[in-house]
Chain A
Amino acid sequence: MSDRKLSRRAFLAAASTALAGAVLSACGGTPTAVPTQKPAAAPPTAVPPTPAPKTPVTIKYQTVWNVGTPNDIVTPAVQMFNDKFGPNLKAELVAVPAVEASMLTAMAGGTAPDVYHYGPDPTGLYARGVIQPLDDLIGGVSGFDPNIYLPEQWAGETWNGKKMGIPALEGSFLPAFIWNKKLVQEAGLDPEKPPTTWDEIRSWASKLTKKDTSGNIVQLGFDSLDAAGSLVQQWCQVADAAPIDQDKRKFSFDQEKLVKALELVATFWKDAGVEKVSSLAQQWAYWLGPANSGFGNGARALVLDGAWAPGQLKNVAKDKTWQFGYTWAPCLTNPGKKFLAFGGHREMMPKSCKIPAEAIKLMTYLTSLEVALKEFDVRGIACYSKPFVEKADLKRFAGLEWYFTAPKEASELWSLRNYSSPLGGQAQTLWNRATQEAIYGTKTAAQALKDINTELQKSLDDFYAAQKA
């Protein structure tokens, strides 16, 4: 033992020093993978149009959708891009869907793809400065005209006056109030005279609800949480009330209009029996896309949904002879007001993208008429754009024309900007919570909204405090 130069004690001392070094580096401050970012970071200088790269460039592209499904538009769109711009410039699809958890870790770890196609409210990402502003990049792309979109479509993709995302691959105005004409007729109602107020809808819902001998619902008139009804912004629009101020600093979920909207949501459940409606929801899926969609299978007779509905119903309707009616969703607090909101997806570029000039080509290509028409073939819908409206045969899907002509009649067109916040996902989750509390009666609608408003405001204050630091 005495001959050893490196004793156990010495080794342990060295290991402890190494561990202390690891601790100090952990306490050292910013994670090295994430550059210090300020939301007002200067955008890159305008990039002139570049010729086709001489060395092959691959754009990594990740979508929020599942690829390989029958309604997959992303795979053919990527193929179309590769056919047009290849072989030196091609896009490669990341097979895993883009969800918040994986996006968060990818962006923090510097392994994000070059382009995201994303559906949920992206404002949280825009506000945190991890997405590349696009104004200068868009200016460098020949053949792309931002005016193909309405101002409301761009408004939702703008943060601090800069365009952060490009609307593409699904996006249209919603909601429409939709009814199954056959079921309505069977209930003794006039399918050509739809309700124009929420009280009338409630009356219809009551007459359209049928139960079996055990008291289980076999046909529900209206589930206020189905399809677009599951979205917090939907009820903000119905209530004609923005839940946050224009500066995005102060929430107001506890305002009277939203309390009324939440009470309305709960009323439909209570009218039919809360636990019975919940059981039905476990049996029949929400929205109109799934094969076991409640509305598509006649388990629900009325629904609020967007412009994808006609295309989806053509595929999933249990009875292909069924016809559906489309009209305005009533405004709860401003009777007679015709409103619509633009809701859709967008292409975003993380700041970690090293090939912005090439990536913007993919992003703008996905807004092209040829991709939109391909999407229309595949899904029965495409992102609203002026060229698409002119060229597409909107009569191909019954009811689709309503969605594309109604914006001209609407007295208000909402954009994502009206209700988005840097807390996006948290606002939706807490709204869901308040909805359940109101439905099950554990809190009044007013108390439920007051509580979530308090929590959201605290989170928002924390967000801006971190911003300052």
Chain B
Amino acid sequence: MWEYLASMREAGQATRPVWPWRRALRHATPYFFIAPWVLGVLIFFAYPILASFYFSFHNYDVLRPPVWVGLRNYIDLVQNAYSRQALGNTLTYVIVAVPCGLLVGLIYAMLLNVNVRGQQVFRTLMLAPGAVPVAAGAAVWFVIWNPAFGLLNGLLGTLGPSVRQSWLVSPAMVKWVFITMQIIHGMGMLVFLAGLQGIPPEVYDAASVDGAVGLRRLVSITIPMLTPYVLYNLLISMIGAFQYFAFPMLMTGGGPVGGSTFYGQYLYDQAFNFFKMGYASALAWILFLICLLAVVVIMRSSARWVHYTGGE
């Protein structure tokens, strides 16, 4: 485009002068087209992020000017037993729910990839729960997990009263309820399904010729070819898991005894119930750093276990 304009300029140079401002305007035109996006990023992302970093070093309640406290918010975070509990609950959730959830998501995807009659119906049924609002889903789960009248204990009770569990009312058990919910839901099923459908059938044909069947095909072909999708799902699911908030907030309010208080809810309480926006900002930055560290570790390790078709 620039060459064209230059040639046009040369052609018209003998007959008409090109003003400098017009030249500059021409050169700047593409940047005007991307300016709305850039401004949006600066105003709605960059500025709040940098502002939260600034406020994390202050005692700030939004309604009054911030007061500098240095690293105290970060130190408080480490020293406060409630914040450590919330972080511990969240890390447990991430470490257990994400890998298991991905595995279950992969299993679901493999089942949905089987070419059977009614395949579209099964896929629709599996994807439909994703359209249910979180609040409605929480209400249903609440009925399932209730120790007294819930569906699950009702079934377990047929095996004997001692088989019934406390579920949501046990401080030790409650976070495992949420972990189980997420595992059952499965993570990344849709992406895995896309990945499975992207594996060329010729590869399986060639493997069949070599005598590879069943589990061997799964281990030597399917999973290696899905590793890029696993990496993507792992990163996205892990980042989402660090921010887990809605279900425990709605179902248990973080109790009992903080057993289901996750980092997101703890941060929310500090910011909006306790007016401690500075401390909440520090919490957010610590979460970001932990998440960043996890992402860096996974990305560094991915060179060893992610196989891209067509070379590295």
Contact B161 A3, beta carbon cutoff 8 Å: no
A105–B81 CA distance with the chains assembled, in angstroms = 28
A455–B274 CA distance with the chains assembled, in angstroms = 12
- What are the residues of chain B within 8 A of A279 when measuring CB–CB? 146-149, 169
- What are the residues of chain B within 8 A of A278 when measuring CB–CB? 147, 169, 256
Contact of B161 among A15, A215, A274, A451 (CB under 8 A): A215
- What are the residues of chain B within 8 A of A433 when measuring CB–CB? 82, 257-258
A410–B166 CA distance with the chains assembled, in angstroms = 43
For window 261-276 of chain B, which residues contact chain A by CB distance below 8 Å?
Answer: 269, 272-276
A128-B61, A283-B148 known; A23-B80 Cβ under 8 A: no
The answer to whether the Cβ of B157 comes within 8 Å of any Cβ in the partner chain is yes
Contact A100 B50, beta carbon cutoff 8 Å: no
CB distance from A458 to the nearest CB of B (A): 8
The answer to whether the Cβ of A88 comes within 8 Å of any Cβ in the partner chain is no
A469–B68 CA distance with the chains assembled, in angstroms = 10
The answer to whether the Cβ of A147 comes within 8 Å of any Cβ in the partner chain is no
A402–B87 CA distance with the chains assembled, in angstroms = 49
Closest residue of chain B to A281 (Cβ to Cβ) is B169
A303–B273 CA distance with the chains assembled, in angstroms = 28
The answer to whether the Cβ of B65 comes within 8 Å of any Cβ in the partner chain is yes
A34–B66 CA distance with the chains assembled, in angstroms = 11
Contact A275 B170, beta carbon cutoff 8 Å: yes
A30-B65, A104-B63, A104-B272 known; A6-B46 Cβ under 8 A: no
Contact B275 A124, beta carbon cutoff 8 Å: yes
The answer to whether the Cβ of A26 comes within 8 Å of any Cβ in the partner chain is yes
Per-position contact with B for A12-56: 1 when CB-CB < 8 Å, else 0? 000100110011001101110010110000000000000000000
Contact B27 A5, beta carbon cutoff 8 Å: yes
The answer to whether the Cβ of A462 comes within 8 Å of any Cβ in the partner chain is yes
For window 22-68 of chain B, which residues contact chain A by CB distance below 8 Å?
Answer: 23-24, 27-28, 31, 38, 42, 46-47, 50-51, 54, 59, 61-67
Per-position contact with A for B102-128: 1 when CB-CB < 8 Å, else 0? 000000000000000000000000000
A22-B50, A124-B275 known; A283-B24 Cβ under 8 A: no
Contact A466 B61, beta carbon cutoff 8 Å: yes
Per-position contact with B for A73-114: 1 when CB-CB < 8 Å, else 0? 000000000000000000000000000110011011000000
A123–B28 CA distance with the chains assembled, in angstroms = 55
A100–B271 CA distance with the chains assembled, in angstroms = 10
Closest residue of chain B to A34 (Cβ to Cβ) is B63
Contact of B168 among A11, A100, A282, A459 (CB under 8 A): A282
A129–B166 CA distance with the chains assembled, in angstroms = 46
A22–B45 CA distance with the chains assembled, in angstroms = 12
Contact A429 B62, beta carbon cutoff 8 Å: no
The answer to whether the Cβ of B164 comes within 8 Å of any Cβ in the partner chain is yes
CB distance from A33 to the nearest CB of B (A): 10
Closest residue of chain B to A425 (Cβ to Cβ) is B273
Closest residue of chain A to B49 (Cβ to Cβ) is A26
- What are the residues of chain A within 8 A of B24 when measuring CB–CB? 5-6
The answer to whether the Cβ of B2 comes within 8 Å of any Cβ in the partner chain is yes
Contact A108 B166, beta carbon cutoff 8 Å: no
- What are the residues of chain B within 8 A of A158 when measuring CB–CB? none
Contact A19 B42, beta carbon cutoff 8 Å: yes
Mark the stretch among A166-174, A180-188, A305-313, A436-444 that contacts chain B: A436-444
- What are the residues of chain A within 8 A of B228 when measuring CB–CB? none
The answer to whether the Cβ of A9 comes within 8 Å of any Cβ in the partner chain is no
A6-B24, A282-B169, A425-B273 known; A26-B63 Cβ under 8 A: no
Closest residue of chain B to A28 (Cβ to Cβ) is B54
For window 129-160 of chain A, which residues contact chain B by CB distance below 8 Å?
Answer: 129-130
Contact A23 B2, beta carbon cutoff 8 Å: no
Contact of B64 among A128, A214, A283, A423 (CB under 8 A): A128
The answer to whether the Cβ of A203 comes within 8 Å of any Cβ in the partner chain is no
Contact of A280 among B2, B148, B258 (CB under 8 A): B148
Per-position contact with B for A450-469: 1 when CB-CB < 8 Å, else 0? 01000100010011011101
A27-B54, A283-B146 known; A4-B2 Cβ under 8 A: yes
Seen from chain B, the residues whose Cβ lies within 8 Å of a Cβ on chain A are 2, 6, 9, 20, 23-24, 27-28, 31, 38, 42, 46-47, 50-51, 54, 59, 61-67, 80-82, 142, 146-149, 157, 161, 164, 166, 168-171, 255-258, 269, 272-276
Q: A6-B28, A124-B275, A128-B64 are in contact. List 4 more A-B contacts (CB 8 A).
A: A5-B27, A29-B66, A34-B65, A282-B146
Show 10 residue pairs from A and B whose CB-CB distance is below 8 angstroms, ordered by the A residue: A3-B2, A128-B61, A128-B63, A216-B147, A274-B169, A425-B273, A459-B276, A465-B59, A466-B59, A466-B65
Lowest 5 CB-CB distances: which A-B pairs, in order? A279-B148, A278-B169, A101-B272, A469-B67, A426-B274
